[in-house]
Amino acid sequence: MGVGAIVAAPEARGDNKRLNRAVIQNVYTIQQQAGCTTKIMDHPQLRLAAQWHANDVLRNRNVNHDIGSDGSTPQDRANAAGFRGRVAQTVAINPALAINNMDVLRQWYFNPATLSIIQDCAHTAIGVWSENSWDRSVLVAVYGQPE
């Protein structure tokens, strides 16, 4: 008689810091090409708001863009994270284990609504967070206009 063990599959996780930084750099480049003269800066409170929504989108398949499963808006989440100022948000979803910055840019660059958010020179702060599962990857960017 053999001894069996039940082993739970590990959660799909990766170090997404490089991806998140690449997206911020890509946003900066697009803003510069649009004529912006300021450098968009990584903002920890916006990153926290992006993290909350990325986790929500990953775990709740009916949530896909701005409104969270609890009814929260990007502005609500940014306020709760302690950010003071106006915000906008873009979300990229890939139905696979991984997502890269080119996947993200393809989703955002050719969509006039998301491209206008990225190109808005008033957005001088950004928070980016990405999460992965075995069959879904999500990246959220929250853009801010600090007061």
* DSSP symbols for 50-64: HHHHHHHHHH-TT--
138 in a structural domain: yes
Boundaries of domain holding 32: 10-146
Per-residue tokens: 99: 């997502």
3 in a structural domain: no
Question: Given a cut of 50, is residue 1 above it in pLDDT?
Answer: no
Per-residue tokens: 88: 């906008």
Measuring CA to CA, how many Å separate 14 from each of 72, 87, 97, 134, 142?
Answer: 27, 27, 10, 11, 21
Residues 23-76 have pLDDT tens digits of 999 999 999 999 999 999 999 999 999 999 999 999 998 887 889 999 999 999
- Split at pLDDT 50, 70, 90, the class of 9 is very low
2 in a structural domain: no
Question: Using CA atoms, how far apart are residues 107 and 112, in angstroms rounded to an integer?
Answer: 10
CATH of the domain at 134: 3.40.33.10
Per-residue tokens: 132: 């992965």
113 in a structural domain: yes
Q: Give me the percent of the chain exceeding a pLDDT of 90.
A: 71
1 in a structural domain: no
Question: Given a cut of 50, is residue 131 above it in pLDDT?
Answer: yes
- Split at pLDDT 50, 70, 90, the class of 98 is confident
What is the pTM assigned to this prediction?
A: 0.88
68 in a structural domain: yes
Q: How many domains does the chain have?
A: 1
Average of pLDDT values for 69-98?
95
Predicted pLDDT at 14:
52
4 in a structural domain: no
| DSSP E strands, the chain | 41-42, 85-94, 125-133, 136-146
141 in a structural domain: yes
